[in-house]
Amino acid sequence: MNFGFDEDQEALREAAEKLLAAESPPAFVREALEDPDAWRPLWSTIVDLGWTSLAVPERLGGLGLGVVDLVALAEVTGRWVLPAPWMSAAGLAGPVLAATGAGEGALAGIAEGAVSTLAAEGDVRWDGRTLRGTARRVPDAVRADVLVVLAAGPDGRVVGVVPAHDVRIEPTPAADPNRPLADVHLDVVVPVVAADPEPGLDVARTVLAAELVGVADRILEVTVEHARERVQFDRPIGAFQAVKHRLADLFVAVERARTLTYDAAMVLDDPASSTGRRREVASLAKAAASEAAILAAKSGVQLHGAIAITWEHDLHLFARRARQGASALGDHLFHYRRAAESFLGREG
Amino acid sequence: MDITETPAQREVRERYTAWLDDFLPDDYLARYHEHRLDWAFRRAHQRDAFEAGWLVPQWEPGLGGQGLDHLETLTIRLESARRAAPKLPNIQGVGVVAPGLREHGTPEQIDRYLVPLLRGDEWWALGMSEPGAGSDFGSIRTRAVRHGDTWVVNGQKIWTTQADQSRYATLYCRTDPAAPKHRGITCFIADLTAPGVTIRRIRSSEDSLESFCEVFFDDVELRADAVLGAVDDGWNVAMSSLDHERDMIWIMNWVEIERGLAHVRSSMLEHRRDDLLVDLGRRLADAEAIRMTGYRAVTNELRGERSPEFLILKLFGSESLQQVWELAIQAAGPGAVTDPGLLLEDFDALAATLYGGTSEVQRNIIGERALGLPKG
């Protein structure tokens, strides 16, 4: 057993940290909230760097790497609240395509930088010919070229790949406008693949968990910095146990989530892992990371004080992504329950 | 990153389980609660583990080990926990005193004390807490005054686990009253059978497996060679000893968490309790995260990297242990209060967030050592 990232992964993380600190600092992320096209130049850069091709098989033009690699990078994108649709394409749509074999062309397209996303929720049905219904809260749908749509068919679940120009996209409000949400109305004839999407979704949940760990980690970092510098009652507030203990508890929550996320990534990359084990670890990771990110956002605001509820302060940028990510693909209540059902030998 | 066992990990684990299977009676798990109270059985387990090199696997043969590396050692310790191997009867001796002796002892002290301790022939207590110095260890008042080649000790220790059954204690005394409170403390090896030592058992609010004592020292004489480490350097001896204690405790906690989860599982299979599923999921996450954070920390150590996540394990393990048994009580329903076994677990869990440094002290340690926050 080895719990460390390898040299290539460490190099990727360092390069990503450097790039995003320069190209996606909080000031840029804040501007992007009100400028729907701000992400585009950054997107070209990260596609050129190969970030979207990490986990795409080599025969489809990708790097053929695994979940650990996706997690390694997702944590950094979380730390900088990357406003470009990397998560939707490489973290959500890609793993479902790869696990279900629903569209090799679409997977190759992700490697090349086609903006892709996953429509996982809603009431879309497939009647043998047509995908019909509404997919809800689809991230980055307004930016997407291609949608990977999960639907219920007459004989079980199906996965279809749909070009964005064949559907009607209705933007909705979103906690994090840097990952805009939309309802997607479908009435389109497309071929589908009959497949259980859960194994692919479990990869997506784990990558999303890594992003949430990154968000929580960065909030903890800036809040600790603040607690060391901010002086009240003649001492840095971090010297008060009421503050110190709150930060210690947050550190425990973040490390708990990080360990479970790395653990899940390793289990998912190991071909010997059983289906039940994959389901359990992915749920534990998503649940713990969702909780840690929300706790971080709340503690971060509380310990920064009133400044943290202003537009100019950075905290809301992180809080937005924490809130939206925590709810996506099952919140902590759903996933704790799912893991418990699995432990009790029920399918859940 | 790689979840699979290395061939070396697998090889030692298989050798260990073969040895353990051979040692344990066939009905061990079925009669776990009886075996848990069987001190002779637990002593025999310690002796055999010492001889076979499974007691302190990272140490050399002859000292209860076989020179395993950190990762292999953790694998054995967790496997032992997973298999509910008998708990060492005097666990603080092997877990806390032995590494301290090795680190700070003179060759003569190591020669005299280490093997009898490891074999379980001589038990040890930890003489740290006092009535006026619990979490604030630096406030100890037990005095040792030097007269030529002899130190004379006066004072009182309290919450001393197994003092009544122990031959020795690591005894922390104030030796320089003029020095600032963290200096001027010296650690001694004290013979608890010496004249002037009085040991009284303290009655616990519920039955407990380990005795709990207070120890009085009235003009107890210690020879100069009883000093462990340097004179007036007891603070450092104590801090490294507490690190060993935290390291021992989180694995003990993990065993109890796993046992608690098994208890919850059987209750919830008997009576469907969907209202408890979310909490059960949380505790499953704790158990997995504690074990895997241990591996993460060891990986970092092996790579020579700082490992701050190691500092969370005592707080996280003990708090989670309490929550798991709380859940076990909820899952058992109102009848829980008539189940002495469950009540004992509940009581034992209350102590977990106190011994080895309270949760409040752990949060200070995490805040200051992991996060770099200023001291209060």
pLDDT at residue A288 in the model: 98
Which residue range forms the structural domain that includes residue A272? 198-343
d(CA A253, nearest CA chain B) in Å: 9
pLDDT at residue B298 in the model: 87
Tokens representing B342?
Answer: 């469950």
CB A125 within 8 A of CB A148: no
* Mean per-residue pLDDT over chain B, rounded: 94
pLDDT at residue A171 in the model: 98
* Contacts of B97-106 spanning 24+ positions with Cβ under 8 A: B97/B124, B97/B126, B97/B170, B97/B241, B98/B56, B99/B240, B99/B241, B99/B244, B100/B170, B100/B228, B100/B237, B100/B240, B100/B241, B100/B244, B101/B228, B103/B240, B104/B187, B104/B228, B104/B229, B104/B237, B104/B240, B105/B228, B106/B225
Report if residue A144 sits inside a domain: no
Selecting among B79, B256, B258, B345, the annotated active-site residue is: B258
- Hey, are the CB atoms on B371 and A5 less than 8 Å from each other? no
With 60 as the cut, is the pLDDT of residue A348 above it? no
Q: For testing the chain B interface, which of A65, A246, A256, A333 should be mutated: the one with the most B CBs within 10 Å? A: A256
- Hey, are the CB atoms on A248 and B9 less than 8 Å from each other? no
pLDDT band, residue A306 (cuts 50/70/90): very high
Tell me the average pLDDT across A318-339. 98
Q: Which of B296, B362, B373 sits opposite A228 (nearest CB)?
A: B373
pLDDT at residue A347 in the model: 66
B-chain residues within 8 Å CB-CB of A264? none
With 90 as the cut, is the pLDDT of residue B207 above it? no
What is d(CA B174, CA A13) in angstroms, rounded to the nearest whole number? Answer: 50
The secondary structure of residue B375, as a DSSP letter, is P
With 90 as the cut, is the pLDDT of residue A204 above it? yes
With 50 as the cut, is the pLDDT of residue B177 above it? yes
Please give the share of chain B, as a percent, with pLDDT higher than 70: 100
The secondary structure of residue B324, as a DSSP letter, is H
pLDDT in tens, B187-203: 999 999 999 999 999 99
Tell me the average pLDDT across B249-260. 92
pLDDT at residue B293 in the model: 94
Query: Chain B window 260-289: which residues touch A at a Cβ cutoff of 8 Å?
Result: 261, 265, 268-269, 277-282, 284-286, 288-289
Tell me the average pLDDT across B136-144. 96
Q: For testing the chain A interface, which of B277, B313, B330 should be mutated: the one with the most A CBs within 10 Å? A: B277
Tell me the average pLDDT across A271-291. 96
Report if residue A320 sits inside a domain: yes
**Is B124-232 CATH 1.10.1200.10?**
no
What is d(CA A229, CA A221) in angstroms, rounded to the nearest whole number? Answer: 13
Report if residue A1 sits inside a domain: no
Tell me the average pLDDT across B301-322. 91
pLDDT at residue A319 in the model: 98
- Hey, are the CB atoms on B292 and A256 less than 8 Å from each other? no
Q: What are the boundaries of each domain within chain B?
A: 7-89, 124-232, 236-370
Longest dimension (CA), chain B: 71
- Hey, are the CB atoms on B373 and A280 less than 8 Å from each other? no
Please give the share of chain B, as a percent, with pLDDT higher than 90: 82
CB B132 within 8 A of CB B141: yes
Lowest mean pLDDT among A118-132, B154-168, B341-355: B341-355
pLDDT in tens, B25-44: 999 989 988 998 899 999 99
Neighbours of B36 (CB within 10 A): 14
Q: Which of A2, A244, A337 sits opposite B1 (nearest CB)?
A: A2
Q: Is B256 a catalytic residue?
A: no
pLDDT in tens, A62-117: 999 999 999 999 999 999 999 999 999 999 999 999 999 999 999 999 999 999 99
- Hey, are the CB atoms on B284 and A241 less than 8 Å from each other? no
pLDDT band, residue B132 (cuts 50/70/90): very high
Domain containing A313 — which CATH number?
1.20.140.10
B-chain residues within 8 Å CB-CB of A5? 1
Tell me the average pLDDT across A183-205. 97
Give the residue with greater pLDDT, B228 vs B245.
B228
Q: At A164, which amino acid appears?
A: A
ipTM value for the complex: 0.96
Tell me the average pLDDT across A176-183. 98
The chain B residue lying nearest A4, using CA atoms, is B1
Helix (H, G, I), strand (E, B) or coil at A5: coil
What is the SS3 assignment for B69-105? CHHHHHHHHHHHHHCCCCCCCCHHHHHHHHHHHHHHC
d(CA A336, nearest CA chain B) in Å: 4
pLDDT in tens, B281-311: 999 999 999 999 999 988 888 888 888 888 9
B236-370 matches B124-232 in CATH topology: no
The secondary structure of residue B373, as a DSSP letter, is P
A-chain residues within 8 Å CB-CB of B288? 260, 263, 281, 284
pLDDT at residue B303 in the model: 84
- Hey, are the CB atoms on B285 and A5 less than 8 Å from each other? no
What domain count does chain A have?
A: 1
Task: Please give the CATH superfamily to which domain B236-370 belongs.
Answer: Butyryl-CoA Dehydrogenase, subunit A, domain 3 (1.20.140.10)
Phi (first) and psi of residue A182, to 5 degrees: -150, 155
Region of A329 (left: φ > 0; alpha: ψ -120 to 50; beta: rest) is left
Question: Chain A within 8 Å of B149 (Cβ-Cβ)?
Answer: no
- Hey, are the CB atoms on B281 and A239 less than 8 Å from each other? no
Please give the model's pTM, rounded to 2 decimal places. Answer: 0.95
A-chain residues within 8 Å CB-CB of B269? 344-345
- Hey, are the CB atoms on B375 and A239 less than 8 Å from each other? yes
